[in-house]
Structures are given as structure tokens and as C-alpha cells.
Structure 1
């Protein structure tokens, strides 16, 4: 028996070595050389990828829909990392039939608190108030403001415009009836990241169109999705493996949001640029997403604009009323005059970078005050990671915005 122990030890060592190689292979993803804190990003990406794999496996095993499983797994992860601010209260309730979470500073006795309506990201499909708790509690605590975090209806169960309608209803209620929450309705801003930034921009436009009073104080768009007619912009070419949201993911979320299911043909047409025709009807819209308008540093020397050759007009005619609608694609709105001031955050490692830059340019041309903050070490989703795991760029984005909000809210 004793003579066999060395063999057992060797087998154990070999097994552990193989397991280590497999783990390293799974965790390691290529990261650009100029990216800060690459291993933190790899851990974040691995967590997300593991959740996606488990969700697909769960559906294959008959445990439920993969999207719902992914939501539950993300929720479990977030529940274990929810530090709570000592100087704020948190209340889950409803506003105009929509679930919200309201954060309020304990130490503020005045009835005239400013407020931020916060719209979370997640491709209109995943996420919720818990996933963005680190952001919303920090905003309330550091700014001495009421934060209304909106838990809007998600796709694919609820397709466009369910999510934006929920967020619009809450925003209007806060502006009209904010005094019930001890809010100064003259000091209300709207803020969102990714899909939430998409809806924050759309709602700012809708309220301006309606001449809604009181108006929003300002809008904050953090790496927002602003259009879906051209997924071949230069920033979409930077489809880095470690980036949480690439071209395929954006096509998938769009399919969920406007169709209610994963339409692989639709997604392929979005990705390869054969969904939208370049014709007289769309010419004005494509002018709003013209890469030639980008600053030179964002336009690769060898970049050539994609020209579709085989457009599925049947598919296009079935979705164009949504894709050209500014309620879905704020960048494509013709008249941007009169909008509230905008604070726009964009990052280098993100397929959505170009549309944020193009939108800020169009706002300037429309005489709308707009600040564009570009973070060379940032990536899509990093704003939500300023505490755990605590990326330096995430903290920088938060601190810069807090300075802006302290002065303008």
C-alpha cells in the first residue's frame, strides 16, 4: 500500500496541473496592451461568461428560459456584493404602476432635495435596481439627492416601447408630483448607462417635444446606445474579446427588445450591414451616423464605409418604424434644439463610442450645452464597477460626474 502512495501523489499533481491549465485557459482572454488592470477585467468577463454558459446549460436541462436564468444568476452575484451607505434610506415601492427603488439621504431635513431618475443598463433585457445599487447609493449619499432607480419591464417578455414607456411614466410623475417625495422639481436630472442611456436620451427628447414643465435639469448618458441602423461604424471594428458588449451582443439585445425573441437572420443582417438600405428615405439618417464626422483620432486610416449589396427589404419594412424612431434611436432625431444640457460619458473599449461622439457633435450644432468625457482606459460596463472590483477608471468616471452634478444639479 505504501509503495503506491508516490503514484497517487503523481496522479494528483498531474490532475491539479491539468485543472490549473483548464482554469487558466477559461479565465484568460486577450486584452489590449494599453488596458489598465487587465486581470480585473478578465475576472469580470469570466464571471459574465460563466453566467451565460450556465444559463444556456440550464435551458438545455429544462430548468427554464436562459434569459431568466441569467437574470437570476446575476441577481445572486449582486446580492453578495451590496454594501449599503450608512447615511441613506432605501425604499422599494411603485410609481405610476412601475417598480422603483428610492434612495434618500437621512441627514437632509430640507423639503427641497434635488433628484436623479436613474435608468439601469443591460440591453433592455437583464439588470435591475440591485445590479446598479453601487451607483445609485453613491449618487444619493455623495450628492445629498433623492435617487429614483427604475425597475422597468424587461425584454424579451416586454418588447419596445415597454421599457422606455415605464421610464417616461416615472420621470413625468417625479417632475409633476416630486413634492410628495420632498423633491425640488426644478432640480431633477435623468441618468442612464448603456440601454438606460438610450432611454434617458429618448425621454429628454420626448419631454422637450411635449414642452413638459418643469423641464429636466440635465441628462446624463453613460456609454449610451443611440442607434441601430449601422453596426459597422469604426468603433464596432474594435470588437475585443474581453469587451462585455460586442456587435453580436448588441444585435441580440436589439432582437430581444424589438422582436421579443432571438431572430438569428435579423441579427446576422444587422451585423453584416445588410438590414438597412442606403436610399433616398434613409439618406438623412445615415448622415447622422457618418464616420467622416468623427474626429480624426477615431477614424482609422484604412476605414471604408460599408455599402450593403443585398438588403432584405421585407425585413427592413417590418422594423424600420422602430429603428428610425427617436424613441429607440435618439441619435436619428432630426431636430435636437431645446434639449436639456447633456453630460456624456464614452470609453475607448466600447462598440458604442462613435455614436456617443456623433450625438455630442449634433447637440453642439443644435446649441445644446454638451460635455463629452472620453476615458481612454474605460470599457463598456465599467461605471458599475467603481466599488467592486474597483477599477481606477470607474472611480474616475464617478468622481468626475459627482463634481459636475454638485455644480449643476
Structure 2
């Protein structure tokens, strides 16, 4: 009798668990994800500073080129919604080598952090961003978009789109090749990266902006759970091989579902329809010329089905899509950067962008 593919995929990754246990973090002190202020303080004090930051900084990746010095600066950018608000773009610039042409143009990647749209900032991805900058000789732009609930949808999306416009306006200053730009987003950032890719594609006839070379969506939120239910009832495309293989994945616990829906409510505010494709990309209709897309899902993440469904939806529109399921790991698989599966995945992400920018 053939083993259940779901059981095989969801069998715990022992190396991941061992590396997770080594992290200098007491996870029992973490507040509820919907306790906005408490979670922001906890992330800042526990995850972005102190022993964990020092632990993560020691992680080493396999490099394809000598490590370059990467300069990091924060730039304040005016929001595009007519308000007086501003947001920050964290710029990671690899220094030009002594023999490099001073006007050499480099690709750019917009990195959109996770955090349920209500907490987090680009600093949490510093190590990955500097690795990408050095390895790809690319300018990495970490978007510190405005957070909900103070700034509900579409504030974060507007900021991410404005970051692209800002990069194009300032391409000469940062030596950016605007024909080689990509976007990367994790979790809620994956939702934003998907929405930005849709909006950027739809508006290109007006803006004249070049198309993105690649969208990398990492454990993305592609829709409210009610949206996923509607999508499956009115499914406009067949199921992929991977979707069929994980069809028997257990449902998320009720507590997790309620927490997820609460976070979505905080993000959307009172006025936004959950079926808006820029809030739930799984609802997008036929969209041509969407950028090539790479989707990463974690086998022990309840978001896996909607990530795979979105990959198949884009594929049905003619988009070039690749996808991967990381076995035995949960949604937050990037916490222990020293885990074999995490380290290899980060190195593979470099290669995916390297191919896209070639």
C-alpha cells in the first residue's frame, strides 16, 4: 500500500526542530498575534534585537561569488495617497568593486516583509537581503510599508507600488536596471507581492513601467478563508498535481482560523470587500502578461492549499509558474536560518532570481 503523500510531506523535519530548539527565544512569552502593540514590542525586543539577532547573524550561506560589502541606508518616501504620511525604504547596496564600471547597472528586488500586515519591518530580513545583494550584485529595497490597523488596506499596497515608482524615478542614483526588477514577499508580504504584481501588470499600459522579471511568493496569503471556500466551489481551473497530492491535508484548528480571520479584519478595516482581488489575489480574473512567478509553500502550514491554488490559477492564465513544497516545516520556517532546509531554500531563492535576471 502506497504511503499517504500528506503524511510523508508533513512528517517533522528533525534537523529543523533541532535548530529551532537552539534559538535563544522563549516562545511561551509571545503574545497573541492579534494583540497588536504587545506583538510589535515582542518582535522588536526579542526577534530583531538581542541574542536571537546575534544568533542569526552567525548563519553562513554557500556563496557563488566573493562576499561584497553591502551598504544599508533608510530613505523616507512620501506616500502616494495624498496624505502627509511617509514610509521608509531600506536600501541594501553592494559596493562596486575597484574594477567595476562606475555606471554599471544592477537588478533590483523589492522585499516585502511578513507580519500579518500589522507588525514587522524590513530589518527582520536583513541577513537574507544582504545575501541577495552580494550574490546577485543587486540593489535590494526593503519596503517598510504602513501597518494596519492604523493604516488599513490599501495603504500597505499603495506604499509597495509607490516603492517601485520611486525606484524607477531614482534608478540613475542607485544604478538600477529597471528592465531587471523583481519582487519577493513572505506571508502577508507574499500577499502584497501578489497584489503588487497584479496591479503593476494591469496599470503598465498607463504607467509605461517595465514588467517585473519575477515574483517570488513565500508562504503567501492569497485569500481570506471564505475566499478560498468560494474559489473551490467555483473553481475556474483544474487542480495541479501538487494540489491533488495534498488534498487530504487536515483542516486548520479553529483557534488558528479565528486568529487568521481577525488579522485579516485588522488589515482590511470595515470598508473593504474580502473578495477584492487586491486584498485576496485568489479572486483575480484572467490577467495576461503577469510576471513569471515562483511560489514556496510549507507542508505544515495551513496556508499551503491556497498558495498552491494561486500558483495553479496563474498557470491557467498562461503565466510561467514554478512551485515548491518544503516538507516537514511550518509557516515560520525561516526562523532557524541554520536549518538545512531553510539555508538551502535561501540559496535556491538566489538562484531563481539569478536565472530571472540573466
TM-score range, shorter chain: 0.7 to 0.9
State the Cα distance separating 1:302 from its structure 2 match: 9.2
**Equivalent runs, 1:158-169 vs 2, <5 Å:** 158-169=151-162
Cα separation, 2, equivalents of 1:142 and 1:166: 27
In structure 1, the residue matched to 2:19 is 40
Correspondence 1:380 to 2:331? yes
Which of 352, 358, 365 is matched with 2:309 structurally? Answer: 358
Correspondence 1:220 to 2:216? yes
In structure 2, the residue matched to 1:297 is 245
In structure 1, the residue matched to 2:349 is 401
In structure 1, the residue matched to 2:48 is 75
State the Cα distance separating 1:102 from its structure 2 match: 0.6
In structure 2, the residue matched to 1:287 is 234
In structure 1, the residue matched to 2:170 is 177
- Residues 278-320 of structure 1 show CA distances to partners (whole Å, capped at 9, x for unaligned) of 8xxxx568424999776332111998xxxxxxxxxxx9xx968
In structure 2, the residue matched to 1:253 is none
In structure 2, the residue matched to 1:248 is none
State the Cα distance separating 1:45 from its structure 2 match: 10
In structure 1, the residue matched to 2:146 is 153
- Residues 48-87 of structure 1 show CA distances to partners (whole Å, capped at 9, x for unaligned) of 432328x99xx9xxxx942342243233345545639762
Correspondence 1:100 to 2:72? no
Cα separation, 2, equivalents of 1:302 and 1:325: 27
Per the alignment, in what secondary structure is the counterpart of residue 323 of structure 1?
Answer: coil
State the Cα distance separating 1:358 from its structure 2 match: 0.6
In structure 2, the residue matched to 1:330 is 281
CA contact (8 A) 1:289 1:355 kept: no
State the Cα distance separating 1:230 from its structure 2 match: 3.2
CA contact (8 A) 1:383 1:397 kept: no
In structure 1, the residue matched to 2:203 is 210
Aligned length: 307
In structure 2, the residue matched to 1:66 is 38
State the Cα distance separating 1:336 from its structure 2 match: 2.8
- Residues 76-115 of structure 1 show CA distances to partners (whole Å, capped at 9, x for unaligned) of 3455456397621111222333211111111354431001
Cα separation, 1, equivalents of 2:150 and 2:309: 32
Give the number of the structure with larger relative contact order, counting CA–CA contacts within 8 Å between residues 6 or more apart: 2
- Residues 318-348 of structure 1 show CA distances to partners (whole Å, capped at 9, x for unaligned) of 9684311111111111123221110111110
Per the alignment, in what secondary structure is the counterpart of residue 329 of structure 2?
Answer: strand
State the Cα distance separating 1:385 from its structure 2 match: 3.6
Change (3 A) 1:151 1:284: closer
TM-score (norm 1): 0.67
Per the alignment, in what secondary structure is the counterpart of residue 91 of structure 2?
Answer: strand
CA contact (8 A) 1:229 1:323 kept: no
Cα separation, 1, equivalents of 2:349 and 2:92: 18
**Equivalent runs, 1:114-129 vs 2, <5 Å:** 114-129=107-122
CA contact (8 A) 2:19 2:336 kept: no
Cα separation, 2, equivalents of 1:367 and 1:320: 33
What is the CA RMSD across the aligned residues, in angstroms? Answer: 3.3
Q: Which runs of 5+ in 2 are unaligned?
A: 1-9, 59-66, 79-85, 252-264
- Residues 153-203 of structure 1 show CA distances to partners (whole Å, capped at 9, x for unaligned) of 122322222222111111222134322211001111111111111000000
Cα separation, 1, equivalents of 2:239 and 2:111: 33
- Residues 367-402 of structure 1 show CA distances to partners (whole Å, capped at 9, x for unaligned) of 00011122113321223542xxx1111012112121
Cα separation, 2, equivalents of 1:158 and 1:290: 35
Per the alignment, in what secondary structure is the counterpart of residue 88 of structure 2?
Answer: strand
